[in-house]
Structure 1
Amino acid sequence: MLAPGNHPDAIAAQVERLLAEATLAEKVAMMSGKGFFKAFAEDGRVWAARPYRAGGGLERLGVPALWFTDGPRGVARGQSTCFPCTMARGASFDVGLERRIGEVMGIEARAQGCNLSGAVCVNLLRHPGWGRAQETYGEDPVHQAEMGIALGTGIQAHKVIATVKHFALNSIENSRFYVNVVIDERSLHEVYLPHFREILDAGIKSVMSAYNKVNGEFCGQHHELLTGILRGEWGFDGFVHSDWVKGVHAPYGAAAGLDVENPEPLVWGRHLLAAVEAGQIAPAVIDTACRRILTTLLAVEAAEAPLADYGEDLVSCPAHVALAREAAEKSAVLLENDGALPFDRARLRRLAVLGRLAGIENTGDFGSSRVRARHVVMPLAGLAEALGEGAILTGDESDLPAAAAAAAAADAVVIVVGTTADEEGEYIPGDINLGQEAAGQAARVARSRGGDRTHLGLPAAQLALIRAAAAAAAGKPVVVVIVAGSAIMVEEWRGEVSAILQTFYAGMEGGRALARLLLGEVSPSGRLPFTVARDAGDYPPFDPAVDEVVYDLWHGYAKFSREGKKPRYPFGHGLSYARFSQRALGVRRQGDRLHLQVAVRNDGAMAAGHVVLFMAEAPGVLAPRWPRKLIGFARVELAPGETRVVEVVAPISRLMIRDAGRWLLEPGDYRILAVRNADDPAPLVAGLRL
């Protein structure tokens, strides 16, 4: 098929010609994926061994297909660049970095035959037990919006369609196929949907529906979500496709607003064709769905690619690997530090690196987002590379006396603890293989993996390791490195160690990044994109096996603040090797935008990144409001002694409330704050009357 040119009128005319010439059966066929199960079997049941046909495609008329790839931490194809997980990148609060990562994902997807990416996951972290927390950015919708826009627009810059997922309210893993989320209008529109809208308004052209139900109906066939809100209220003109298997349950999902069933025509196909022929579904429904698919596809085909060539030599090339390391360095969050960090390299003759997780490949779960990188540098290897093999002493939780002896003999101790794909991630029942086992092995695996966490602390063996090592170290620096997708409770052991650094799942270069962070070659600069509690009971209720759950306005830092609960580490918490001061907060309204600015100075002795959070306190007369609400943020890199003025432009809609189908801007006096974290006791404050 010849590209029609990139003018919208030319594309629209070409779409109408195709619709006029295609048969009903051909149109229905474009509304489903094709060939997944055959390909999956041929590839030894290894997920993403090839691109998956995910809709579109009509060979007789030269219509291209959608070729899908995950994923959130890198392209789930071949041996792509494995970035830190999404939650880690959320901790960077670096929109520019995330845009560059998006471009790399777009390049590597295109270089490997894919034109549809499922990388943009922005479901809110309502509770840290959610197994797929690692695939999203955090607990706040504004933060999700800015990071999701950056990733999605970066991907689409290289003629790859980005899909934002999972629409909507998907924040439990184990019961995702059947749980019914009950929610009121305010909570839905003010908390759980606004970031989806901002991302789509920025030009992202596809949506993946969620498995779960909302107010009694499955998301993949939910007319209010897919047509009333998405198309009617928001004006979205791209296409919606289902999640993989069990994403839609009846042909009427097409009439509700779903355009593509993936990965195969299990529910649609001949059943949808029969429903149209029987008069149960109007032919116009089919034309509308195909029009959305074709318009998006032809626009992508007609666009000029930024690069002249997308060869496979671009996949995991040195520049992309270097970006993965940069992301790992900027994502790490220094939770506590009594002055032990950074290590003084001149005095560090022997370093004990302890814990099973220090030496195993551990970049995240083994579900659909898995990336099989060409190499993975884990903490033990990264520190040995930096200090020399002879400087490293090792031990783990399987032999506490040996680990304690290593700690006693060393000048400092690093203990790597946390989780793996066994404890959290996409839930993989024991009878399927999404790549967790090598190709050619038996389809059935010994046990299920991943899923939601019901325990938010460290396992007993890791606690015992920390205590044994801390006792043996006898006052020497003991640093704990947490590898996990979201919050880990620290109350049982934090008083026994010198410093705590959370690196999340740090990607293929995580070990090298860790060495540079511990040795002071770069300063930690990440901030927590979620709240860490002192007591697990301070979080909302969470039951991974629940049939029905109620979501309201209150989770994360808003819930803690409303209830007067003091977290261990608030949203936005993160220490640095530098010191920063903020002054001269300015706020002005211009039309439907707020212009926020503040001056930031690096008062420390080394270059470092700093994150400014802008929050609002609303009058709260018309309805209960979040006590403080994030409305914008910015990251700035500063040399010692350098001052820069940081400016953020935020839509006024971030201050609005929802009431009976309308958006209202509550009149009155607002306080706009520049803070270091959500609980900052000494914010800069400016008044704003609306």
Structure 2
Amino acid sequence: MTSLSESVSVLSGRDSWHTPAAAGIPEIRMSDGPAGVRGTSWTGPRSAVFPCGSALGATFDPTLIQEVGVALGRQARSKSAHVLLAPTVNLHRTPIGGRNFECMSEDPLLTGVLARAYVEGVQSQGIACCIKHFIGNDTEYERSTISSEIDERTLREVYLLPFEMAVERNVRAVMTAYNKLNGTFCADHEWLITTVLRNEWGFDGVVISDWFGLHSTAEAMNAGLDIEMPGPTRHRGLLLESAVNEGAVDSATIEASVARVRALAEWAQASKSDGSERTDDDALTRDVQYRTAVGSTVLLTNDNDQLPWPAQSVDRIALIGPYASTGRPQGGGSAKVRPSWVASLLESLNSRDHRVDWAQGCSISRFHPSVRGEFTLDVVDEHGVSVSLTKTSLDAFWQDGPTDEMSMTFGATIQSKLSIYMILNQSLSALG
């Protein structure tokens, strides 16, 4: 007979990435995603990095995304993880969303189709996906306190659709969002978790809080949230035991959650894990990385059919921008991993038989180098580029002009016959 204390203990994390081994259930290891599998340490063994969520969305290719999922599942096994905290299926509801790079699209149907493929790929390797963030976490600004006010029709047709489509493919776990939905924190939202997710959609997996995203004891437990993360617990443990003893939470509710955690551990074969972590960087993984990067490249326009250029016809290439020489393969925050390798664009092009000229172009200061000399030719017409941006700690805002110290302006007049432009970025760009 399992004691109440032991049962309650498996309903919150032991540390940042594990549930405790208790009540006859082995510990479950979780790892951040979605563009790689970090493991339990920010400085641990390196990991393969795949194109970010917005790049996956640009492929429009569920078959390719399923291959990405398979590769990520193998990466998770190399880190002895049982649950990959991915995919992120929140929507690009505004171009300034701070985590747009991590999400796939503004289109809920496209997001849902690709999410299903991602989940199928990862879970084919015996690794559970924890799809996130349920629901309406489409802005980073005040995300822990803001309430997303969404009417039911819009909620079901737009925001919930990608999650529902993933549930149809038996996704094993769901992570609740930090924000409130119509005034109630998502982790406390019984209608969202029990009525819709479990009763209407038939989801029988585990519901996990976002890290430090739990705000209650009895409310979240009664709503159907199974695991508080991370540990040590702040709202469960002795507080949850007291809630049961005082009648605020029924013991059957505890037993149901414990059963779901047990089922997840058994499905992921958590008892067979040795806990080791290693770098898994092989030719198969690199092939998927390469094909996904190629597939995510978008040709916006091809005036006068100028492309493609025969490789032998290219003598010189101009690279302008500070990140041409450093390489930026990923976004930040919980999506960040230690890449097993990084190749900058400058490094890659220099390895080929072309002359490559590079200028930093702009910097985070009031003074910006000009683009001149070997990059320019004397012609009559002038072509100008003026870029202005600001960035807060959470969301990026695009404006027509600078705002105090938060914005930087880069202006350059380029006199050139060059008419082919490639833009490499993860989020907002103003073109035209």
Q: Which range, TM-score by smaller chain?
A: 0.7 to 0.9
Letter paired with 2:372: A
Provide the C-alpha distance between the structure 2 equivalents of 1:303 and 1:189, rounded to a whole number of angstroms. 38
Aligned match of 2:297? 332
Higher Cα Rg, which structure: 1
Cα deviation for residue 409 of structure 1 reads: 6.4
Shift of 1:402: 5.4
Gap change, CA 1:478 and 1:464, over 3 Å in 2: farther
Q: Amino acid of the residue matched to residue 270 of structure 1? A: L
| Residue 489 of structure 1, CA deviation | 2.0
**Structure 2 residue aligned with 1:293:** 261
Structure 1 partner of 2:87: 120
1:398-433 deviation digits (Å, cap 9, x = unpaired): 4866522231269xxxxx99999x95xxxxxxxxxx
2:429 to 488, 498, 522: 488
Deviations 1:288-311 (A, max 9, x none): 111111112213329999xxx999
Which deviates the most, 179-188 or 339-348?
339-348
CA distance 1:312–1:181, change in 2 (3 Å): closer
Kindly indicate whether the alpha-carbon contact (under 8 Å) linking 1:117 and 1:160 is maintained by their aligned counterparts in 2: yes
Residues 450 and 294 of structure 1, relative CA distance in 2, 3 Å threshold: same
Mapped partners of 1:32, 1:133: distance in 2: 29
Which aligned runs of 4 or more in structure 1 are off by greater than 6 angstroms? 302-305, 309-314, 416-420, 456-462
Match of 1:321 among 280, 283, 286: 286
Distance in structure 1 (CA, Å) of the matches to 2:12 and 2:95 = 34
Q: Does 1:156 align with 2:99?
A: no
Q: Is the 2:12–2:230 contact (alpha carbons within 8 Å) kept by the matching residues of 1?
A: yes
Assess if the C-alpha contact under 8 Å between 1:107 and 1:310 holds in 2.
no
* 1:345 Cα offset (Å): 3.0
Is the contact made by 2:214 and 2:220 (CA closer than 8 Å) also made in structure 1?
Answer: no
Q: Deviations over 1:380-413 (max 9, x none)?
A: 122212235xx11111224866522231269xxx
Name which structure has the greater RCO, CA cutoff 8 Å, separation 6+: 2
The equivalent residue for 2:188 is 221
Listed as ranges, the gaps of 5+ residues in structure 1 are 1-20, 37-51, 411-415, 424-448, 495-690
Question: What is the alpha-carbon distance in structure 2 between the residues aligned to residue 330 and residue 148 of structure 1?
Answer: 17
Q: Supply the distance in 1 between the matched residues of 2:401 and 2:300 (Cα, whole angstroms).
A: 16
- Separation in 2 of the partners of 1:156 and 1:417? 46
Structure 2 partner of 1:453: 396
Structure 1: how far apart are the matches of 2:66 and 2:369? 47
Q: Is the 8 A contact 1:207 1:240 kept in 2?
A: yes
Provide the C-alpha distance between the structure 1 equivalents of 2:29 and 2:67, rounded to a whole number of angstroms.
Answer: 22
Q: Does 1:69 align with 2:17?
A: no
> Where does the alignment leave 5 or more consecutive residues of structure 2 unmatched?
40-44, 379-384
| Residue 313 of structure 1: how far off its partner (Å) | 6.8
Specify the SS of the correspondent of 2:335. Answer: coil
Of residues 474, 477, 497, the one that matches 2:419 is 477
* Equivalence map 1:419-430=2 (5 Å): 423=391
Q: Distance in 2 between matches of 1:237 and 1:478?
A: 52
Residue 208 (structure 2) pairs with residue 208 (structure 1): no
Partner of 1:392: 356
Letter in 1 for 2:100: A
Of 323, 328, 341 in structure 1, the residue corresponding to residue 307 of structure 2 is: 341
Asked if the contact 2:52–2:102 (Cα under 8 Å) also holds between the matched residues in 1, the reply is: yes
Decide whether the 8 Å contact of 2:387 with 2:410 is kept in 1: no
Task: For 1:33 and 1:67, locate their aligned partners in 2 and report how far apart those are by CA, in whole Å.
Answer: 10
Q: Any conservation in 2 of the 1:418–1:483 contact (CA below 8 Å)?
A: no
Which secondary structure does the structure 2 equivalent of 1:165 belong to? strand
Cα pair distance change 1:462/1:405, threshold 3 Å: farther
Q: Which amino acid aligns with 2:360?
A: D
Displacement after TM superposition at 1:148 (Å): 0.5
Identity %: 30
Q: Residue 358 of structure 1 corresponds to which residue in structure 2? A: 324
CA–CA distance in structure 2, aligned partners of residues 404 and 361 of structure 1:
24
Q: Is the 8 A contact 2:388 2:400 kept in 1?
A: no
C-alpha spacing 1:103/1:170, structure 2 compared with 1 (3 Å): same
Kept in 2: contact 1:395–1:406 (CA 8 A): no
Q: Distance in 1 between matches of 2:377 and 2:216?
A: 62
Whole-angstrom CA distance in 1 between matches of 2:191 and 2:386: 44
1:375 aligns with 2:341: yes
**Number of positions where the alignment pairs a residue of Structure 1 with one of Structure 2:** 412
Deviations 1:525-551 (A, max 9, x none): xxxxxxxxxxxxxxxxxxxxxxxxxxx
Structure 1 position 135, deviation (Å):
0.9
Structure with the bigger percentage of strand: 1
Q: Is the 8 A contact 1:397 1:461 kept in 2?
A: no
Query: What root-mean-square deviation, in Å, do the aligned CA atoms of Structure 1 and Structure 2 show?
Result: 3.0
Q: Deviations over 1:228-247 (max 9, x none)?
A: 11111111111100000133
Task: Assess if the C-alpha contact under 8 Å between 1:66 and 1:115 holds in 2.
Answer: yes
Distance 1:382 1:200, change over 3 A: same
Q: Structure 1: how far apart are the matches of 2:112 and 2:369? A: 48
Q: 1:311 to 1:218 in 2, by over 3 A?
A: closer
Structure 1 length-normalised TM: 0.56
User: Aligned to 1:397, what secondary structure does the other structure show?
Assistant: coil
Question: What is the CA–CA distance in structure 1 between the aligned matches of 2:386 and 2:282, rounded to whole Å?
Answer: 30
**Of 25, 35, 56, which residue of structure 1 is paired with 2:5?**
25
C-alpha deviation, 1:316, in angstroms:
2.1
Q: Tell me by how many angstroms 1:456 deviates.
A: 6.2
Determine the C-alpha separation between the residues in 1 that align with 2:171 and 2:239.
30
Q: Secondary structure at the match of 1:394?
A: strand
Q: Secondary structure at the match of 1:393?
A: strand
Asked if the contact 1:76/1:368 (under 8 Å) is kept, the reply is no
Cα deviations by residue, 1:628-651 (Å, 9 ceiling, x for unpaired): xxxxxxxxxxxxxxxxxxxxxxxx
Q: TM-score, normalization: structure 2? A: 0.88
Q: Deviations over 1:80-100 (max 9, x none)?
A: 110110110110011111111
2:146 to 176, 179, 183: 179
1:154 CA displacement: 1.0
Query: Alignment partner of 1:368: what SS?
Result: helix
Q: Provide, for residues 566-607 of structure 1, a one-character-per-residue CA deviation record: whole Å limited to 9, x for no partner.
A: xxxxxxxxxxxxxxxxxxxxxxxxxxxxxxxxxxxxxxxxxx
Greater shift, 452-461 or 350-359, is seen at 452-461
Partner Cα distance (2:401, 2:35) in 1: 24
Closer, same or farther: CA 400–350 of 1 in aligned 2, 3 Å: farther
Say yes or no: does 1:464 pair with 2:411: yes
When residues 482 and 219 of structure 1 are mapped into structure 2, their CA distance, relative to the original with a 3 A threshold, is: same
The DSSP-based 3-state class of the residue aligned with 2:398 is coil
Match of 1:92 in 2: 59
Q: Once the 2 structures are TM-superposed, how far is the Cα of residue 481 of structure 1 from its aligned partner?
A: 1.1
Distance 1:374 1:409 in 2: 40
Q: Give the counterpart letter for 1:67 in structure 2.
A: R
